[in-house]
Chain A
Amino acid sequence: MTGLRIVGSHMMRNRVVYASGITLVAAGSLFAAQIPRLLGHVTDRLQEGTLGRSEMAGYVGLIILIGVVRVAAGWGGRVLVHHKGRELTYQLRKELFEKWSTLSPSYYHRHSVGDMISHALSDVEVVRELASMGLNQGISGSAMLLGSAWLMVVHVDWRLTLAGLGPLLFIPLLVRWLGPEIRLQSQRSQEALGSMAQTTEEVIGGIRAVKAFGMEQVVNSRFQDCVDDIVEEKMRLVRLSALFDSLLPLLVNIGFIFVLGFGGYLVTTKSISLGDFVAFTLYVALLRMPLEQLGNVINIVQRSIASLNRIDELLHVLPEVREREGAVIDRPLQGSLEVKGLTFRYPGSQRDVLSDISFSLKPGQTVGIIGAMGSGKSTLADLILRLYDPPEGTVFIDGEDILHYPLARLREGVAYVPQDGFLFSSTVLENIGFSDDSPNLKRAKWCAGITAVHDNILMFPEQYDTEIGDRGVRLSGGQKQRLAIARMIYKNAPFQIMDDSLSAVDTTTERLILENLKELSTASSIIISNRLSALQHADEIIVLESGRIVERGSSHAELLSLCGVYAGQWFMQAGLSFGGESEKSEADGSDAVLPVDLDIEMEVLESGRFEEAS
């Protein structure tokens, strides 16, 4: 129930608007309820034969007046309430997005983006239905029902009222009963349709495999199952909706029959006037819609309570990484880092991802980290970025625990390139200058030059103003990574972290970019990589395995001589790339490049064999 507070406080904030809206809607419905009665009057006067032309004109004028007033009132009220309802959806989406901006990656790991979007769309929409449509229909339906019933009971006959309206009162119950079932079943048939779409997508996407393995028959029968499933689910839906569509008129018609028979009888016995009888038949027709809506309101309320609670819960999630109280060091970062005995496990996990990691980085230096997937490389980066909080007293920047820095300071001082080279679908310029409110084209060009992507950008239709993504250019993996590195350089932070950021770039370009970086950048860098060629310039190389440092050394040669994990990796990758060694061969400058290379290969093979044997 706590979720209802969201709507409650919204209505309180806008109480004047809501009060006027509700009053107008109710007034509109009460006026509308007068029309059948008015027609009844006309009937009586006509039957009595006492109606003159001028009085007739008066009645017609009154009908027009009431018509105009009830439409105007209902219209005005609905405009107000709907407007505010839509403002509520706007407000909730805004608050949700602001909340999401503060939540750390651990939250995003546990929740799918799809679910979050569905909160921002469906849940918020349901709340809007409650706060605008539900409210309007509830108010106008009850006003119409109560107004009509009151007029009929007071002015005509309570028995006839009961007989005529009795069956109609089952309408909300019918809606209440079948509405959710129909909704659920309709979702199921949509899902069946979705699963057919998925099967089709799989088959079309894998058509080569289907044809190569000659599995057309299998696939056809799977598809047929999907189609049959749709027929079945839809027929279930049809059974429900056909029942609803035929029961609803039945209830109205039965009410009508009571009025026709009983009311007609009362007229013949002069218990009621012909005008009353006429009014009654009109009321039965008039009330059908409002009663249907009243049933719907109950369903909306029920649905929206669930949605409101979900939204309420979301708005109260506490970010895991947040500013620490007290002892805050509010000064710009300089560029020295020290990690001391860092052991870390993810919240809720039983396994240490990192154990006893220690290393340090002086301003301007580079540390390289290699390791297989799952060795904890990326976690290390996450901790330095404070996407997760490391334990107290393990990670220090400029001699102070990073937990004592305000998040804003910390993130001002660190630039980062993610593994996948994540970019936004805005322009190239906006992406490179993402850290800037109004990106500087000159600086962006300079950065793109360093990462060897400037020439590619010039080939794009609108160069630096080209949109990235569906609406503009589609980039290759390597282009994405190079843009993401340019974005890091643009930020000009004292720390740079590159998380396997060159994996899709060929080794020649990789070498070029790393050399440029080395030459131009004064930042302290952490380069995480799968590929050893990326680490050739590092001042120290750390080899991680299952969260532990298993080897470390200050140069390629030193690590190779350990004949350990590093040497093994190098053997594996040498077939792929000669990044580390080609320098040597170029330095030789001799014409006999080929034999030299072959020699090196032999070395590599041998060292590798040694590793495998050991």
Chain B
Amino acid sequence: MIECSPVKGAFAPLIPYVKPYKTKLALVFALVVGVVVVDLIQPWLVKEVIDRYVTVSSPDSSGIFRMSALYLGLVLLSFGLTWYQDMVLQKTGLSIVRAIRIDLFRHIQQLALRYFDQNTPGRIITNVVSDTEALNNLFTQFLANSLRGIFTLVLIMFFMLRLNIAIALYCFLLLPLVLFMAVFFQKKIRAINSEVRHRLGLLIGFLAENLSGMAIVQIFHQEQKQQKRFDERNKSLLQSTILENQWFLLFFNITELLGDLAIAALIWYGGNGVIEGTLSFGVLYAFVGYIRRFFQPINTISQQMNPLQSAIVASDRISRTFMEIPEIKEVDGARAPAVVAGSIKLDGVSLAYRLGYPVLHDINLLIDAGEQVGFVGATGAGKSSIMNLVTRFYDVTSGAVVIDGKDIRQWPFEELRRTVGIVQQDVTLFSGTIMENIRFFQSDISEERVREACRLVGAEPFILRQPQGYNTMLSERATTLSAGERQLLSFARVLIFDPKILILDEATACLDSATERVLQNAIQRVSVGRTLLVIAHRLSTVQQMDRICVLREGRIVERGTHDELLLQRGDYWKLHQSGILLDEAA
């Protein structure tokens, strides 16, 4: 395996996916050859007609008809083969990419939260969507076009050599020239094109921003100034598109001119050959037919370097993702405790997201079942990290998180998730109806139960105000719902999934008082009968908690009730004095 080329190495992870389609791909190769031969045989046929039936002493039209009929058969066959070949290749490519996509997505799902925190969503999405699409292009564009291009080129050369070796070799002189031109111009045009895209991006960005801020532009009466700025961007785009077009036309026309000059040269050398009787006219004709066909495949092949390159990069990235190992796994023989009540013990817990940079230091905390605990502290004090541990989004670096007497690493995933519920500040909604979002697409949960939950948390009034009530589709990022309304939906979710332990990340956004009141009531409702851990952002919520933990730099520095903490005159008292608990909203 030492002679493995880098290209082959890059595609190594694809091999298991491609293997089942070996025969299909071989079939496609064979079909492409057949199709190309049928296409390229045309000048040869004309040559045969001229040399065998026309420029002989007794012209024979029946031979011509036979030949035409035969070729008609071939052409019809080729029509079918072209279609079939195209279908098979594309279907194969799509099936391979489909399998990769599903496996990749499944694999990413299994990865621990660390992966999602370390990689931006954009990168993961690119991996799943664009990288796999680049692989798809490898089959549908690169393979299809370069196969065809290479076979065409090789077969033209073969036909030419069969016709006349000397002239063929002269013609081959054209190859490096055409290839050089194609590579040079495509490189140039690609560079200009990326400049065009860049400038277009600037224009779109400017436009998008100014359209959304048009009121500001008008209020500050700056229409003239912004129009001038738009004009600058518009003009610079104009210039680069004109430049791009000029290079493109240059390439196109030089190729055309080169074609004409090649024919003139052929006529000169070949014509003299015919005059001297060293060359039949038919052969000269065939060369004229073939020489112009040189250009297309070379252009096509040189255009395929781009999809190939992106496919190599994509394949590399995909295989890297596949190599990520899910670090949080269910141990064999994991069993939930017989009775799940909801008590939590943090036993000397430390956590470091990056080795050597701990964010939690030796936290010890006992929370009884049904207790309500608020966590306060500045951004980065470790509030969210504690929640990450209780949900087992991360595993502790040392110590243990124990729920109902059992280390959560010994719990089965499903049980743990049924026990620990979470309501985040930024409520996740998926595209689907309100109903589906509340029951999380689990149709075994009855609609009546969903309605019941919504009534309890006070979400029903606003749901019924939506155009289709519970069946209203939530569009992307659910912009149609306000932050408060989304929170209410997630409270309804909690009632349905009924976790013994509920983690609540309180909303920081300044809601208007009416919504605020409904939300507070909903929190009261959902917390009944549960152990409640709240990341608190406002004093009004914390005051009612059984206990408040004040975190600073990964340690619990104060704990107690609201009144106790005020008397301590420590961090909590200071927070309270400043009148704010709210971090400046990001």
List A residues at the B interface (Cβ < 8 Å).
Answer: 35, 39, 42-43, 46-47, 49, 51-53, 56-57, 59-60, 63-64, 66-68, 70-71, 74-75, 78-79, 82-83, 86-87, 89-90, 93-94, 97-98, 100-105, 108, 113, 116-117, 120-121, 193, 196-216, 218-220, 222-224, 227-228, 230-231, 234-235, 238-239, 241-243, 245-247, 249-250, 253-254, 256-257, 260-261, 264-265, 267-269, 274, 277-278, 281-282, 285, 372-373, 385, 387, 408, 411-412, 414-416, 418, 422, 424-425, 434-435, 437, 476-478, 487, 491, 503-508, 530-531, 568-569, 572-573, 575-579, 582, 593-594
Interface centre among A39, A51, A223, A239 (most CB of B within 10 A): A223
Q: Which of B457-492 contact A (CB under 8 A)?
A: 476, 482
User: Which one of A67, A90, A385, A503 contacts B219 once the chains associate, using CB atoms below 8 Å?
Assistant: A385
Name the residue in B45, B78, B430, B541 with the highest tally of chain A Cβ atoms < 10 Å from its Cβ: B430
Beyond A202-B431, A257-B68, A425-B205, whether A87 also contacts B238 by CB under 8 A is: yes
Q: Which residues of A contact B513 (CB under 8 A)?
A: 372, 568-569, 572-573
Collect the chain A residues with CB atoms within 8 Å of residue B87's CB: 238-239, 242
CB closest chain-B residue, reference A491: B220
Chain A residues with CB below 8 A from B216, complex form = 416, 418, 422, 434
Q: Please tell me if the beta carbons of B208 and A113 are within 8 angstroms of each other in the complex.
A: yes
B540 within 8 A of A: yes
Instruction: With A82-B249, A200-B128, A373-B512 as known contacts, state yes or no: A424 contacts B267, CB within 8 Å.
Output: no
Besides the contacts A90-B238, A200-B129, A261-B65, what 14 more A-B pairs have beta carbons closer than 8 Å? Answer: A46-B271, A53-B275, A56-B271, A67-B256, A75-B253, A108-B215, A212-B417, A215-B440, A223-B102, A257-B72, A261-B68, A264-B54, A422-B213, A434-B216
Closest residue on chain B to residue A224 by CB atoms: B102
Complex interface: chain A residues within 8 A of B578 (CB):
508
| 18 A/B residue pairs, CB under 8 Å, sorted by A | A56-B272, A60-B264, A67-B257, A74-B256, A93-B203, A101-B226, A108-B212, A222-B430, A239-B87, A246-B80, A250-B75, A250-B78, A267-B59, A415-B219, A416-B216, A416-B220, A425-B209, A575-B539
Within 8 Å of chain A (Cβ to Cβ): is B320? Answer: no
Q: Which residue, A416, A491, A506, A576, has most C-beta atoms of chain B within 10 A?
A: A576
Bound Cα distance A506, B238 (Å): 47
* Contact between chains at A238 and B242 (CB < 8 Å): no
B253: A residues at CB distance < 8 A: 71, 74-75
CB <8 Å contact, B221 and A408? yes
Bound complex: CA A197 to CA B237 (Å):
29
Q: How far is the CA of A496 from the CA of B369 in the complex (A)?
A: 54
Asked if B522 is at the interface (CB within 8 A of a chain A CB), the reply is no
B194 on interface, CB distance cutoff 8 Å: no
Chain A interface main SS type: helix
Which residues of B sit under 8 angstroms from A247, Cβ to Cβ?
79
A241 and B144 CA atoms in complex are apart in Å by 13
- Rounded to whole angstroms, the CA-CA distance of A507 and B575 in the bound complex is 13
Q: Which of B71, B208, B441 contacts A117 (CB 8 A)?
A: B208
A63-B264, A204-B125, A205-B121 are known contacts. Are A213 and B113 too (CB-CB below 8 A)?
no
| A201 to B, closest residue via Cβ | B125
- Determine the distance from Cα of A437 to Cα of B223 in the docked complex, in whole angstroms: 11
Task: List B residues at the A interface (Cβ < 8 Å).
Answer: 39, 42, 45-46, 49-50, 53-55, 59-61, 64-65, 67-69, 71-72, 75-76, 78-80, 82-83, 86-87, 90-91, 94-95, 98, 101-102, 105-106, 109-110, 113, 116, 121, 124-125, 128-129, 133, 200, 203-205, 207-223, 225-227, 230-231, 234-235, 237-238, 241-242, 245-246, 249, 253, 256-257, 260-261, 263-265, 267-268, 271-272, 274-275, 281, 284-285, 288-289, 292, 391, 393, 413-414, 417-418, 420-422, 424, 428-431, 440-442, 476, 482, 493, 497, 510, 512-517, 538-541, 543, 566, 573, 577-582, 584-586
Please measure, in the bound complex, the distance between the C-alpha atom of A68 and the C-alpha atom of B257, giving whole angstroms.
7
Which residues on the B side are within 8 Å of A578 (C-beta)?
A: 579
Report yes or no: A56 in contact with B275, Cβ–Cβ below 8 A: yes
Residues of B within 8 A of A245 (CB): 82-83, 86
**Which residue of chain A has its CB nearest to the CB of B246?**
A79
Residues of B within 8 A of A209 (CB): 422, 424, 428
Q: How far is the CB of B168 from chain A (nearest CB, A)?
A: 20
* Residue pair A235, B91 in contact (C-beta under 8 Å): yes
A93 to B230, CA, bound (A): 9
Q: How far is the CA of A491 from the CA of B42 in the complex (A)?
A: 77
Q: Are B113 and A530 in contact (CB under 8 A)?
A: no
**Known contacts A260-B71, A261-B68, A422-B212; A227 and B221 CB within 8 A of each other:** no
Are A254 and B54 interface neighbours, CB within 8 A? no
With a CB–CB cut-off of 8 A, which chain A residues contact B274? 46
A156 CB to nearest chain B CB (Å): 16
Q: Using known A-B contacts A238-B86, A268-B53, determine if residue A211 contacts B441 with beta carbons closer than 8 Å.
A: no
- Kindly identify which residue among A101, A416, A506 contacts B223, using a CB–CB cutoff of 8 Å: A101
